[in-house]
Structure 1
């Protein structure tokens, strides 16, 4: 093994540890923020059920109105408030993130299970984005917080699995790991652009 190969492997090891720390923090912070948002949404939904005249704290104008979104059929796709799914899902993500920060390691099957959950969550969130923008035509601020944290949770879970070869092979993962920040920022920027395109100045009316 040449000295150049040793240096390259050392650099790769440093990058791996750096990505591990980022993944741990993204899952911990993203999971916790999503958990809080889902919990508040659940409380607000119960308040609205008990008192139809209740005005949720996240209602600001005609475009930003949690109450309108909560009363739509899309807010209870499976017959109960979507936010209950968020409490369960983000609770698991938060626990995994805190475990990583504490030094825990998880097996390949565990990471693939998290990947499946993150992917389902991402698909569901993007369906809700489309529904909010083009069907309900009202935004829920707390829901938007959930959108914003679901994307990085998915991105960094996927990057971790790619980089560790959990899908088979590591070359593809190493090729995109260096662009993780750009990927996440671009994705969030596209969602923000869609929001402003759909609502424009009415967000601030």
Structure 2
């Protein structure tokens, strides 16, 4: 007599619906972004620290001439003595000391493999967005109100624009699956061409500077 034994069904269970995942974002990308945040945060922090020292000496030493006061256009003293240099009632470099330290620490954590929560990325996006708006307010003030440029400040401009572009590209990439499909190719291009975006952006500012001070440049270089 033969006995039959029930054998488990070998067919694979139907796959459960999986939620869409970000098409471009990877943890490796966050590590690379972390390294970039470390570099950008360090450069910005250094520039902010130098500006804070220069501002302190300018306030405490009546005859002090800042090291970056080179000529009538490249003149940190003119910029630091303007109302725009204390936009919130205290020296602007203090904002940089806090903001760039935060960026540097976050970058070190990401480069080390940390996975930061979504609320942190939202907060960082708000921070870099506010920073880039503030930087452009300072750009127009330097060009059309103060009539002078601060070399250390311009380092901060470059860093903030680069940080804004990198963080925005990362956050858009990470949330691309929630956006309309038509937006995804644009986000992919932004993700891959961040250097191009930053370069074009900075060339635009450089063009404004060249036009605004064209007479001075022509006289000096001619």
Distance 1:166 1:87, change over 3 A: farther
2:193 paired residue number: 179
Question: What do you get for the CA RMSD once the two structures are aligned?
Answer: 2.1
CA distance in structure 1 between the aligned counterparts of 2:177 and 2:129, rounded to whole angstroms:
14
Q: Which moved more, 1:142-151 or 1:16-25?
A: 16-25
TM-score under structure 2 length normalisation: 0.81
TM-score under structure 1 length normalisation: 0.87
Q: Do 1:69 and 1:140's aligned partners in 2 also have CA atoms closer than 8 Å?
A: yes
Distance 1:57 1:155, change over 3 A: same
Q: Does 1:197 align with 2:211?
A: yes
**Deviation readout 1:151-173 (Å, 9 max, x if unpaired):** 01000000000111179338253
1:97 paired residue number: 107
Q: Does 1:156 align with 2:156?
A: no
CA distance in structure 1 between the aligned counterparts of 2:147 and 2:59, rounded to whole angstroms:
22
CA distance in structure 1 between the aligned counterparts of 2:148 and 2:187, rounded to whole angstroms:
38
1:118 paired residue number: 128
Q: Does 1:86 align with 2:100?
A: no
CA distance in structure 1 between the aligned counterparts of 2:69 and 2:202, rounded to whole angstroms:
23
Count of matched residue pairs: 193
Q: 2:74 is matched with which residue: 61, 64, 68?
A: 64
More helix by share: 1
Distance 1:87 1:59, change over 3 A: same
Structure 1 runs not aligned, ≥5 long: 1-11
**Deviation readout 1:97-125 (Å, 9 max, x if unpaired):** 11111111111111010000000000000
Structure 2 runs not aligned, ≥5 long: 1-22
